[in-house]
Homo-oligomer: A and B are copies of this chain.
Amino acid sequence: MSKPAIGFIGLGAMGFGMATHLLKEGYPVVGFDVWGPTLDRFKAAGGQTATTPGQAVKGCEFCICMVASAPQAQSALFETDDAAIKSLPKGSTLLLASTVPSAYATSVQTQLAALSRSDILFIDCPVSGGTARAATGELTIMAGGSDAALKHGHALLMDLTAPDKLFIVKGGIGAGSNMKMVHQVLAGAHVTAAGEALGFAARLGLDPKKTYELVTKEGCESWSWMFENRMARALTAEYKPAASALTIMLKDLGIITSTGRLSQFPTPLSAIAEQLFLSGVSLGWAGDDDSSMVRLYYPDALAAVQASSTSKLSEAERQQLVLDLLSAVHLVTAAEALAFTHALGLDVQQYFTLCADAAGASWSFRAHGPEIMALLTGTPSSVPAPDKVSLDARIDALSKVLVEAKNVGCPIYLGSEAMSALSLARRRVGGSVGEVKGLITGFWAAK
């Protein structure tokens, strides 16, 4: 059976992989991008190309929009000369796969109605997983929309992902975008923490490659997907071309903090990560791969690290500090992410399942997630929690990190922010309580 035609708008790092994967799956795909050379590459990969969004989608049963931001989507879909919506056939389906504020996804629905184009079925379906998974059809997809739209788009969505990676998010249009946003709370803090920890390791005179191996070793409690994925590249100090540019994560962090403000929900780790990305952009790194954020902490190439350091600690003690930094930040991030998800009315269990095996994953998230969810929802967890660490013990370990980082002249922004959250929690609930319970009841709880 022949596959339906797809107009694909936005052939960037992610879009190009998705569109060429669809070609391999047998779809006729007409690609559009504002960057000419990309169109030539897409043609060479077997695709057809168009010079306007309208031309790309003409006669297509599906339109996938995978541009970098809401303003770009607004332009391509509605505002540019020969925008896509005018040319979309009656009854076709529009999939908005870009990461956008949920309020923008909702506005697309409204604009379709205002243009009397409610015949177009609309799916709000941001993705996660990076360029490699985009090209192999293994992305995590968070899809929201009407039953009719999800039914029409189901086969196509399934061809972009694996069966257990397609998450139908309850709540209609906007819910998929909100789910992606809260996924990025994890991804954004983890990528920043990864650079902070590896830069700290370098300042401590530790071999960054050995540190990388330690953190990515099976079962390491300081592991995150972002650390494993991004810091492999940081070791090479080759930051162009970007697999994911600073501007992409900066945009996602901005969606988180602005939605947090609108939702009256504090997101301190995301907020500090956003400022750090802004600093990176102001240093001229906008288009560099976000693994390069390690340079905020250690400006030279990591391969050039000398074993000498002003630290008087043993190598094992220094390694432990790096591990303790990561696990403390990951713990507070897990609390921020799940508490925000819950506050937005999303299904925390679905969120947990989604993130535990996506780019937002960390050992801490997987291990502590069930207890955090139980505290947030009031439903006891049946999953055994790892050995309890008290707030005091966590604070003591993180204190040692901050003291030694100062000795070796390394700033520790996320670790310091995590410390502020842990300290406030301790002030409210005491230090002998378990760290997870302490954080949720002492910091994130509304009262």
Contact = CB atoms under 8 A, between A and B. Distances in A.
A416 B276 CA distance: 11
Contacts of A395: 261
A447 B428 contact: yes
Contact of A409 (B274, B278, B296, B424): B278
A420 interface: yes
A431 B419 CA distance: 26
Given A271-B416, A272-B272, A420-B268, A258 B403 contact: yes
A412 interface: yes
B282 A410 contact: yes
A271 B427 contact: no
A296 B282 CA distance: 9
B446 A275 contact: no
A399 interface: yes
A266 interface: yes
A378 B299 CA distance: 50
Contact of A419 (B261, B281, B406, B410): B261
Contacts of A443: 424
Nearest to A399: B261
Contacts of A299: 282
B411 A264 contact: no
Contacts of A261: 395, 399, 402, 419, 423
A268 B424 CA distance: 9
Task: Place the interface of chain A in its size category.
Answer: 35 or more
A257 interface: yes
A411 to B, nearest CB: 4
Contacts of A423: 260-261, 264-266
A278 B443 CA distance: 27
Interface string A412-428: 11001101100110111
Interface in A431-447: 431, 443, 446-447
Contacts of A413: 272, 275
A132 B101 CA distance: 52
B420 A278 contact: no
The 5 nearest A-B residue pairs measured at CB: A266-B423, A278-B411, A268-B420, A266-B424, A275-B411
Given A257-B402, A271-B417, 9 more contacts: A261-B399, A264-B431, A265-B427, A278-B405, A278-B406, A278-B409, A278-B411, A281-B409, A282-B409
18 contacts: A257-B402, A264-B423, A264-B431, A265-B423, A271-B420, A272-B413, A274-B406, A274-B416, A275-B412, A275-B416, A276-B411, A278-B405, A279-B411, A281-B409, A282-B299, A282-B409, A282-B410, A424-B424
